[in-house]
Structure 1
């Protein structure tokens, strides 16, 4: 009997499953209590987010500081080239409205007893000369000009004589001349032929008509200088508003 017991105790236990079976012993998993689960979930949700948010804010701040520094450098560069100046309020008999923040200026004057003249001048445009065979257009070939609209009113009349002109540094070129109502133009009214198609003597007379009213080559030179200051002032004003927005805190 004793030998039988010894034989049973010393006998190697065998497994029902073969050595290379995919079977794995079952391990019991102890689930945390509700209190422990709540603490663990809070830890997982909260702790990793804090450094991420901090890093994100730091990156955002550094990025915005870089933008502001670049803007300030650009503004200082423009001011070093030439200081910001205010447009003069008058040129001869024309009163000048600078229109801050806009892309155009207005000039007004009275002429004679019954005429009022309003001139609207837009910022610079670039003119490209006609390309020649085999030639390449460079920056030196580009020319800056200004668009100008001249409205001439007469007392107690609804009609306006309007000139559309291109202003070069040393001359004014009439592009179109027509009549319109003060209330604007409805539909597609006839605006006359291209100015260059008019009789040469009539063209000369219309240039003289403007010359008498102070719209001449001297005004063209002044307007180019004026719009150079205008362009610079508006660019700096735009940069300053951009910096102010970037620096604004929630």
Structure 2
């Protein structure tokens, strides 16, 4: 590389020397070429390009190593497309998945599921919080269950999915028509009568929204997290590799 730099410098000096000879017949005001400035500009451009190439090369090296490490250490599984009566839409590149099913002759059920969006201390065997080791944490997933019967109104139930249980947070009737600016969305679920709470859990249980689904979703989202992380790194790598 040093030989190439010296060769290019020598060529540039020779060209400038020849141009100076030609320019001796011109008035002083017409001589706009100097030896120092073009060489300085050449060096700055050369160094800038070298730094940019080294920086991009380092990014690519780290990304390739991380991708290879993830694929060798714990490669993601191929996502399943069905769970019990639900069809599963993975929605690649998004932080959501969707589950759909029919229930009976009239009900259409759609469940929108987030990736992990929270956590809470896990309870130990004595009923208290864990010791904070990093493993004593249970991750949280939000579920939005929409149940329609071919009409304008939709029953919307927001749930929390913990590693092995479903917890109802709120329910309301949502209209597909023009809604009020500030609709009343009902009380918090825990403020309802205990018997009514139990019946609503049975209502969801009959439609497959249950603790078994929570276990499935936690496994699925964990796998999706790996897939999306590798996809994100591949996208960044492709952008850095792209030529102007």
Q: What interval of TM-score do these two structures reach, taking the shorter chain for normalisation?
A: 0.7 to 0.9
In structure 1, the gaps of 5 or more residues are: 1-31
- 1:192 aligned residue: 186
Q: Once the 2 structures are TM-superposed, how far is the Cα of residue 64 of structure 1 from its aligned partner?
A: 0.3
State the TM-score, normalized to the length of structure 1. 0.79
Partner residue, 1:213: 207
RMSD: 2.3
- Change in Cα spacing, 1:78 to 1:217, as seen in structure 2 (3 Å) is same
Conserved in 1, the CA contact under 8 Å of 2:76 and 2:224?
no
Q: TM-score, structure 2 length as denominator?
A: 0.81
Structure 1 residue runs of 4 or more that deviate by more than 6 Å after TM superposition = none
Q: CA deviation at 1:231?
A: 1.0
CA contact (8 A) 2:120 2:140 kept: no
Q: In 1, Cα distance between the equivalents of 2:53 and 2:31? A: 33
Asked if 1:235 corresponds to 2:211, the answer is no
How far is 1:237 from its partner?
0.6
1:60 has 2:52 as partner: yes
Distance in 1 (alpha carbons) for counterparts of 2:179 and 2:95 = 23
Which of structures 1 and 2 has the bigger CA Rg?
Answer: 1
> Contact 1:153–1:160 at 8 Å: present in 2 too?
yes
Is 1:175 equivalent to 2:165 in the alignment?
Answer: no
Aligned length: 214
| Whole-angstrom distance in 2 between the partners of 1:244 and 1:141 | 38
Structure 2 unmatched ranges of 5 or more: 1-23, 123-129
